[in-house]
Copies of this chain bind each other. A is one copy, B any other.
Amino acid sequence: MRLSREIKARHHEEITAVASRMLRERGIERTSVVDLMHAAGLTHGGFYRHFKSKDELVASSATKAFEEVVERFERKAEEAGPRAALTAYVLDYLSDTHRDDPTVGCMISACGAEASRQSDVVRGAFTSGICQLIELVSDGLSCPKEMRTERAIELGGLMLGALVMARASNDVQLSEKVLADAKRRALQIIDQKD
């Protein structure tokens, strides 16, 4: 049975939204079109009216995942200023909650290594996401303008690496220590003047 354009568009949004969460939870390889469509309340055959391939879906929903994170960050920056927004982002990023539930969190920490092995469309989505985040992070720093990009890469790298380590480890003590140390240092970097 055919459905209206609005319903198709809603389904398209739904598929992308479910995928952007499922990819972060299970990774790219373990996310199957069948499971995804089932979670969206549709049958899997219909998928190919929305996307040419799984690869195209991964690119789209990676983009969406980045957009959501960026939007949340920007909204906070508007209401509380860039420094407060960055501080909140860092605290959330290195929290137990984010470590234990990646579904609405950072796409790079969840799928970055897998992305390196994907098509250029997918890698393009990641590249653009990384650039946007570096930009946003640098706006919240206290150091002189010309040092900010470099400092943002330092801060972003530290956050990403610490989260990947904390997630890979099944020793709670180690995991907590990694997050705590990274958090302390990250907050220092935000306020560093030179």
Interface 9-residue window, one of A12-20, A47-55, A82-90, A115-123:
A115-123
Q: Given B111, B123, B158, B170, which contacts A113 in the complex, CB threshold below 8 Å?
A: B111
Verify A168–B27 contact, CB threshold 8 A. no
Total residues of chain A contacting the partner, CB 8 A: 46
Q: Given B113, B127, B130, which contacts A109 in the complex, CB threshold below 8 Å?
A: B113
Verify B27–A174 contact, CB threshold 8 A. no
Verify A153–B168 contact, CB threshold 8 A. no
Interface 9-residue window, one of A2-10, A33-41, A68-76, A178-186:
A178-186
Verify B169–A127 contact, CB threshold 8 A. yes
Verify A110–B112 contact, CB threshold 8 A. no
Verify B182–A153 contact, CB threshold 8 A. yes
Verify A169–B130 contact, CB threshold 8 A. yes
**A194 nearest CB across to chain B (Å):** 13
- Determine the chain B residues whose CB is within 8 A of the CB of A27 once the complex forms: 29, 113-114, 117
Query: How far is A65 from B92 in the complex, measured between Cα atoms in Å?
Result: 32
Verify A113–B165 contact, CB threshold 8 A. no
Verify A178–B153 contact, CB threshold 8 A. yes
Interface centre among A27, A154, A161, A165 (most CB of B within 10 A): A161
Verify A130–B168 contact, CB threshold 8 A. yes
A44 contacts the other chain (CB 8 A): no
Q: Quick one: given A127-B168, A168-B130, are A154 and B185 in contact (CB under 8 Å)?
A: yes
- Chosen A-B contacts, 23 in total, with CB atoms closer than 8 Å, are A26-B117, A30-B117, A108-B164, A108-B168, A109-B164, A112-B164, A112-B165, A113-B164, A113-B168, A114-B114, A123-B168, A126-B170, A127-B174, A130-B165, A131-B174, A153-B177, A153-B178, A153-B181, A156-B165, A157-B158, A157-B161, A157-B178, A158-B158
